[in-house]
C-alpha cells in the first residue's frame, strides 16, 4: 500500500512552486539595476528618488522609471545614446473613431494620454505639463522615451517594446 505525503508537505511544495514561478516571471523591482540596464551605467551622481513600474505580457514589455536628474547629466545621456526630440507631426495624433483616421492632438492631450497609460499599466503617478520636453530613440522592436520637466529635475523614462 502506498503512503501519501502529509498535507503539510504537499502545501509547502505548492507554495514554493508558486513563489518560484512568481519570482521567475515577475521579479521584485530593483530601480537602480533597471536604470543601469535601460538608461545609463554607471548611474550619474545627480540621479535620485528612482521609482520603477513595469508591465510584462506575452508579446510586450512596458517599463517606466520616474526619477530626479540634473540637466547636465540628462543631456549627457540623451546625447551619448542619440535620443532625438519627438516628431510632433507623428506623435501628436490620436485615432478618431468618427472620421476613422488619425487626428492631430495638443501637446497637453498627448502628455495626458501618457500619464493615463503609465498609471493604468504600471501604477506610477506622473504629473506632466506643457513644460515637459520629450525625446525618443527607436531600438529594434521597441521605443525608448525620455520625458523631462524644463522647470525642475523631474524625469520619466519609458521603454516600450513589442
| pLDDT band at residue 26 using 50, 70 and 90 as cut-offs | low
Closest by CA to 45, choosing from 63, 34, 32, is: 32
pLDDT for position 100: 85
Query: Percent of the chain, pLDDT > 70?
Result: 83
Strand ranges, E, within the chain: 48-56, 61-68, 84-85, 93-96, 101-104, 132-139, 142-149, 154-161
Give the tens place of pLDDT for each residue, 125-162: 999 999 999 999 998 889 999 999 999 999 999 999 98
CA distance 132 to 153: 11
pLDDT for position 58: 83
Q: Which residue has the higher pLDDT, 1 or 14?
A: 14
Closest by CA to 44, choosing from 68, 25, 12, is: 68
Q: Which residue has the higher pLDDT, 8 or 71?
A: 71
Cell of 28: 521584485
Question: What residue spans define the domains of the chain?
Answer: 29-161
Q: Which residue has the higher pLDDT, 14 or 103?
A: 103
| pLDDT higher than threshold 80 for residue 105 | yes
Give the tens place of pLDDT for each residue, 45-87: 999 999 999 988 888 899 999 999 999 999 999 999 999 999 9
Place of cell 499599466: 121
Phi and psi at residue 12, in whole multiples of 5°? -60, -40
Does an H or E element contain 87, and which? Answer: none
Question: Is the pTM higher than 0.85?
Answer: no
Amino acid at each position: 500500500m502506498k503512503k501519501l505525503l502529509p498535507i503539510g508537505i504537499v502545501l509547502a511544495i505548492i507554495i514554493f512552486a508558486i513563489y518560484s514561478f512568481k519570482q521567475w516571471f515577475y521579479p521584485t523591482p530593483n530601480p537602480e539595476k533597471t536604470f543601469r540596464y535601460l538608461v545609463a551605467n554607471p548611474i550619474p551622481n545627480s540621479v535620485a528618488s528612482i521609482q520603477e513600474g513595469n508591465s510584462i505580457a506575452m508579446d510586450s514589455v512596458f517599463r517606466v522609471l520616474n526619477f530626479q536628474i540634473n540637466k547636465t547629466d540628462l543631456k549627457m545621456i540623451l546625447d551619448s545614446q542619440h535620443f532625438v526630440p519627438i516628431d510632433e507631426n507623428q506623435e501628436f495624433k490620436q485615432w478618431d473613431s468618427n472620421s476613422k483616421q488619425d487626428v492631430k492632438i495638443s501637446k497637453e492631450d498627448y502628455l495626458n494620454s501618457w500619464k493615463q497609460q503609465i498609471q493604468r499599466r504600471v501604477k506610477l503617478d506622473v504629473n506632466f505639463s506643457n513644460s515637459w520636453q520629450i525625446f525618443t530613440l527607436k531600438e529594434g522592436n521597441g521605443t525608448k522615451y525620455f520625458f523631462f520637466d524644463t522647470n525642475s529635475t523631474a524625469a520619466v523614462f519609458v521603454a516600450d517594446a513589442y
